[in-house]
Amino acid sequence: MANDNGMWDRLKRPSSKYTMGGLLLTGIVAGIILWGGFNTAMEATNTEEFCISCHEMRDNVFIEYQDTVHYSNRTGVKATCPDCHVPKEWTYKIMRKIQASNELWHKMLGSIDTPEKFEAKRLKLARNVWRTMKKTDSRECRNCHDFESMDYMSQGRRAVNLHEKGLEKDQTCIDCHKGIAHSLPAMYEEDPSAAVGH
């Protein structure tokens, strides 16, 4: 019983080694280091270089993307992989990074490690992206493109007409602009005319 009282007395008395202020300061410093490390790692995985560091992306979709207006254009404004596929807002970015862990799992499984496997899954992969973009009202497209900032006088008559109809029907960018940065998958089920010539 005497030992128990001695331990209780030591817990009630402040230690000269570990003051409450010292522990608090240590916790704050550790928190800053952990937070900084976490954000640094998050930003390091949010670059085009990181995205194409695996051959599945570099040898398939990156090659296609290099032939698009998002990669090279007269104004020199370039949209990189994360610009289109990773939200800018922190909360949504974290959710996207958590979802991306599934992609790492498939990387380990070798689900799309050859061009043939990639093509076999292209429609499914594209649908996943389209579904997400539809759900978020093409949020990442709108980081650069804004209906209110469009100069309709510079657009062709057909584009103006389609944009007006899209606004009236409450459509979002991805409803019409599939395949804008990557090759479209064979869409036989959705559009039988896509089978022509195959």
Digitized pLDDT (tens) for each residue of the chain, 198 residues in all:
555 666 666 656 655 566 777 788 888 999 999 999 998 988 999 999 999 999 999 999 999 999 999 999 988 989 999 999 999 999 999 999 999 888 888 888 999 999 999 999 999 999 999 999 999 999 999 999 887 888 888 888 998 899 889 888 989 999 989 988 999 888 756 655 444 443
Do 14 and 20 touch, CB atoms closer than 8 A?
yes
* Separation in Å, CA 168 to CA 60, 156, 165: 36, 19, 5
pLDDT score of 193:
47
Amino acid at site 53: S
Domain boundaries, the chain: 26-145
Interhelix angle for 20-44 vs 90-109, to 10°?
Answer: 60
What CATH number does the domain located at 26-145 have? 1.10.3820
Residue 168's H or E segment, with its range, is helix 157-168
CA proximity to 54, closest of 81, 22, 86 = 81
pLDDT score of 13:
64
| Number of neighbours of residue 141 by Cβ within 10 angstroms | 19
User: What's the distance, CA 144 to chain centroid?
Assistant: 15
Sign of CA dihedral 82, 83, 89, 91: negative
pLDDT score of 192:
52
pLDDT score of 18:
65
